[in-house]
């Protein structure tokens, strides 16, 4: 075992009332707790997709900073931190490792869902180094890669770990064990109990996959068979590429797109007959998921299979493919369209695949034409997906087409949103994929963040039991007229049937002027090596709470005109009742501010725990008495929370003779370092102007989209949509400029 010095910044937990709260107070008995340190060395707590995650129980969360905080170690890169809540304090620990001779650089490549363990690399920049696992409770380090054989940080990514960390799976181009050769991507499994490292991408004969393999999917969203996995922005941990017990690891072969599962990857190889008929259930075995069922052949040959996820226990996996893999597949005579398949590990050999999307119009040559999967329940019994085919009553033939590309979306057309459950399919809604990433409904099923520069997360979530779907659409799915602005909708299956409500629409009925989002915080700059992507929890596990961001004022207390964090809550849950002032019949529940609605600067959602009791947000507003700067901090809006010491003001500065004997020189002050941020501060006023101009462009884009929908001329409508797209791009650019301006200004003031 190796040990590194563990540095904690401790700042002080007991009942207390937050100093600032939205008008009417926070819902559900929430209280603000400052989770990031008071002393940030003049730097902001920063967030970006891939750097922000909360533990499933809400007791930990992550962020990063462009300057090391006092007491932290490892300043070679911008520092990444994990915040932990103990019995009597919040504490933040830096995850980077201190530099040592010959290994001056460090990077964090990921962490487990509990945030109890992180995976860190140390070495020489752009050269080979060592991969470690770090115990985030004690700081204890354990070497993963072998002594004397290095791996380059930029070519190493975490795929996932078992729930207890017994098995760890990562990708690397390095040849770390004897059977591994060449410079293609390889998949490794590390056994924490024995310290042994083995190949996952290996056949039952022991031969390695020489073409290269990815953990999880290839980059199907942009139709690229030579890229994929966590290294290319796929959220492999959220997709359960590694099962909770570590017994199953799903992977794809580069170039062919063939999809496999390696079972019991850290055990000795099972004896077998044929290609995949393994005789020992507890031993290692490789099986091809995209293998046709017994007696089925595709006259067009083997086709790629796009992995979209597995159940946490690994018993079921879902993928799309144009290949004919079952007797009732409807991919068309030339494999024109994708069908959605379910693989069941416990089914008999040769009968493990089920086609979930048989077309009810057999004459349709392209069949189901599945475009993507929005999500599924924890047991795999509910699956939400989008398709062009007519698969249920109420649907009409769709024409969604195109694909993502590096730096943008290239989608057109409308298609159908469906729910599969226990062999039956229900039609839910029509979706429109036209537009940019923050407009297109295809963002509901985008699986990777590498196809657009904003690095937006997918905009759909499914509850654990599958009864609730959260999705975003630019089409009006309810009576509310959005004016073409995308809104978030909640589809729910209850005892009384299904319901569809708009959770982000304005209760006063006026059209929205800004596009709501699930996670939009951007940093001015980020470290070169980023952690593996995880998906934020915007929908609570039971589906009763939704967390999102919008600049629209959805409640009277939202008066700042900039981005704020909101909670939608189901009637009868938490503090929401039909008689509540926050109740909206249109929303079918209550709308609450989580941020205050009064900050002159935007507030951003970080993440939430599984139940939604802990919601983390980024804000420069001082929400407790101990927060005295204008830097960005991370706060936890915690149910039944409160930190007594945070409600106490810091000691007043010394004056007169009381300062005698002090040897500390006074810090120089800049003109912008005093006063409250706002339009009276010239630098901050300039930042606010960016936001004002961004909102003007958002409103212009919404009006143009509305005119395009009403236009009777296809040519005129196309022209209006093009102008709307330009206005949306301008709005996003101005918004990013405003964020960068505020971050820079806050750093100066700090």
Q: Is the pLDDT of residue 311 over 80?
A: yes
pLDDT at 664: 32
Backbone dihedral angles phi then psi of residue 584, each to the nearest 5 degrees: -125, 120
Query: Distance (Å, rounded) from C-alpha 236 to C-alpha 119?
Result: 15
Most confident residue range from 40-44, 67-71, 121-125, 264-268: 264-268
Residue 622: other Cβ atoms inside 10 A: 19
Sign of CA dihedral 497, 502, 507, 511: negative
**The token pair that represents 158 in the structure block:** 């975490």
Does residue 542 carry a pLDDT above 90? yes
Q: Which two tokens stand for residue 358?
A: 């048989």
**pLDDT above 60: residue 320:** yes
Taking only the tens place, the pLDDT of each residue in 479-498 is 999 988 999 999 999 988 99
Q: Which residues pair with 635 in a beta bridge?
A: 34, 617
Of the candidate ranges 105-119, 142-156, 446-460, the one whose mean pLDDT is the lowest: 446-460
Say if residue 98's pLDDT is above 90: no
Q: Is the pLDDT of residue 505 over 80?
A: yes
Q: What is the DSSP string of 493-538?
A: EETTEEEEEESSS-TT-PPPSS--BS-----SS--SS-PPP-----
- What's residue 332's pLDDT? 75
Tokens of 147: 């002594």
Which pLDDT tens digit goes with each residue over 665-700? Answer: 333 222 222 222 233 333 444 555 566 666 666 666
Residue 61: helix, strand or coil by DSSP?
A: strand
Q: What is the mean pLDDT of residues 731-743?
A: 62
Give the pLDDT confidence score for residue 642 in this predicted structure.
Answer: 93
**Alpha-carbon span 446 to 460, nearest angstrom:** 9
Task: Say which DSSP state 82 is in.
Answer: E
Structure tokens at 608: 């939430």
Q: Count of H helices and E strands in the chain? A: 2, 44
Predicted confidence band at 456 (pLDDT cuts at 50, 70, 90)? confident
**Under 8 Å CB-to-CB from 411, ≥6 apart: which residues?**
400, 401, 402, 403, 404, 433, 434, 435, 440, 442
- Half-sphere exposure in the Cβ direction for 235 (13 Å, CA): 24
Name, in order, each residue with C-beta under 8 angstroms of 380's C-beta and a sequence gap of 6 or more.
Answer: 311, 315, 316, 318, 342
Task: Round to whole Å and give the CA distance between 734 and 442.
Answer: 24
Instruction: State CA 61 to chain mean position distance.
Output: 14
Write down the mean pLDDT value for the chain: 85
Q: How far apart are CA 313 and CA 131, in angstroms?
A: 27
What is the enclosing helix (H) or strand (E) of 128?
strand 128-135
- Residue 170, judged by CB atoms within 10 A of its CB (0-12, 13-18, 19+), counts as buried
| Rounded mean pLDDT, 335-354 | 93
pLDDT for position 253: 96
Can you give the pLDDT at residue 48?
86
* CA-based end-to-end distance of the chain: 40
Q: What is the mean predicted confidence (pLDDT) over 613-622?
A: 97
- For residue 590, give Cα distances in angstroms to 193, 230, 405, 459, 507: 48, 37, 39, 21, 10
Mean pLDDT, residues 737-748:
55
pLDDT at 677: 29
For residues 483 and 360, the model is more confident at 483
The closest alpha carbon to 418, from 434, 395, 437, belongs to: 395
Of 214, 284, 279, 212, the C-alpha closest to 247 is: 284
* Mean pLDDT, residues 217-241 taken together: 90
pLDDT of residue 243: 98
90 contact partners, CB below 8 Å, separation of at least 6: 10, 11, 12, 13, 33, 34, 35, 83, 84, 643
Q: Highest mean pLDDT: which of 87-101, 168-182, 380-394?
A: 380-394
């Amino acid at each position: 075992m190796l040990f590194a010095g563990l540095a904690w910044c401790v700042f002080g937990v007991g009942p207390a009332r937050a100093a600032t709260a939205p008008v009417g107070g926070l819902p559900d008995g929430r209280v603000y707790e400052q989770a990031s340190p008071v002393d940030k060395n003049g730097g902001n707590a920063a967030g970006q997709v891939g750097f922000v995650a909360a533990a499933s129980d809400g007791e930990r969360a992550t962020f990063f900073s462009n300057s090391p905080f006092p007491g932290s170690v490892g300043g070679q890169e911008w520092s990444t931190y994990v915040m932990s809540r103990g019995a009597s304090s919040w504490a933040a620990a830096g995850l980077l490792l201190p530099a040592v001779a010959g290994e001056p650089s460090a990077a964090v490549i990921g962490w487990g869902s509990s945030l109890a363990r992180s995976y860190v690399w140390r070495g020489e920049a752009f050269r080979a180094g060592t991969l470690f696992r770090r115990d985030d409770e004690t700081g204890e380090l354990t070497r993963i890669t072998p002594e004397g054989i290095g791996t380059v940080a930029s070519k190493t990514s975490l795929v996932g770990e078992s729930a207890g960390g017994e098995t760890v799976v990562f990708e690397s181009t390095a040849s770390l064990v004897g059977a591994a050769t060449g410079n293609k991507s390889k998949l490794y499994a590390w056994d924490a109990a024995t310290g042994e490292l083995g190949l996952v991408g290996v056949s039952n004969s022991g031969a390695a996959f020489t073409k290269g393999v990815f953990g999880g999917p290839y980059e199907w969203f942009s139709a690229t068979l030579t890229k994929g996995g966590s290294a290319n922005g796929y959220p492999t941990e959220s997709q359960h590429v590694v099962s909770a017990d570590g017994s199953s690891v799903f992977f794809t072969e580069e170039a062919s797109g063939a999809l496999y599962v390696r079972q019991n990857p850290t055990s000795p190889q099972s004896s077998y007959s044929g290609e995949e008929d393994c005789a020992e259930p507890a031993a290692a075995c490789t099986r091809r998921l995209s293998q046709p069922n017994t007696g089925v052949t595709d006259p067009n040959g083997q086709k790629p299979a796009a992995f979209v996820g597995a159940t946490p226990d690994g018993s079921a996996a879902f993928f799309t493919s144009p290949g004919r893999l079952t007797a009732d597949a409807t991919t068309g005579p030339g494999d024109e369209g994708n069908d959605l398949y379910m693989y069941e590990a416990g089914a008999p050999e040769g009968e493990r695949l089920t086609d979930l999307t048989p077309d009810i119009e057999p004459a349709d040559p392209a069949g189901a034409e599945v475009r993507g999967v929005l999500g599924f329940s924890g047991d795999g019994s509910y699956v939400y997906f989008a398709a062009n085919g007519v698969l249920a009553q109420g649907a009409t033939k769709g024409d969604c087409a195109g694909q993502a590309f590096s730096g943008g979306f290239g989608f057109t057309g409308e298609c159908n949103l469906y729910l599969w459950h226990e062999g039956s399919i229900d039609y839910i809604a029509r979706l429109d994929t036209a537009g940019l990433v923050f407009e297109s409904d295809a963002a509901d099923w985008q699986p990777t963040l590498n196809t657009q520069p904003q690095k937006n997360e997918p905009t759909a979530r499914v509850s654990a039991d599958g009864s609730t779907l959260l999705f975003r659409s630019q089409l009006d799915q309810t009576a509310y007229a959005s004016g073409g602005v995308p809104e978030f909708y909640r589809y729910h299956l209850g005892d009384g049937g299904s319901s569809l409500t708009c959770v982000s629409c304005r209760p006063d009925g006026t059209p929205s002027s800004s596009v709501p989002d699930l996670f939009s915080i951007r940093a001015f700059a980020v470290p070169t090596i980023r952690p593996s992507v995880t998906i934020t929890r915007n929908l609570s596990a039971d589906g009763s709470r939704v967390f999102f961001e919008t600049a629209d004022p959805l409640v009277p207390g939202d008066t700042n005109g900039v981005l704020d964090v909101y909670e939608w809550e189901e009637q009868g849950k938490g503090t929401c009742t039909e008689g509540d002032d926050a109740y909206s019949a249109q929303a079918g529940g209550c709308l609450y501010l989580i941020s205050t609605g009064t900050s002159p600067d935007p507030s951003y959602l970080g993440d939430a725990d599984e139940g939604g009791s802990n919601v983390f947000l980024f804000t420069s507003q001082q929400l407790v008495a101990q927060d005295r700067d204008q830097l960005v901090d991370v706060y936890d809006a915690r149910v039944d929370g409160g930190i007594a010491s945070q409600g106490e003001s810091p000691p007043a500065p010394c004056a007169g003779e009381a300062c005698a004997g002090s040897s500390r020189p006074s810090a120089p002050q800049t003109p912008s370092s005093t006063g409250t941020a706002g339009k009276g501060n010239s630098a901050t006023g300039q930042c606010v102007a960016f936001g004002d101009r961004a909102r003007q462009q958002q409103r212009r884009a919404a009006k143009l989209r509305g005119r395009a929908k009403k236009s009777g001329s296809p040519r005129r409508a196309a022209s209006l949509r093009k102008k709307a797209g330009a206005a949306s791009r301008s709005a996003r650019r101005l918004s990013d400029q405003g964020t960068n301006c505020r971050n820079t200004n806050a750093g100066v003031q700090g």
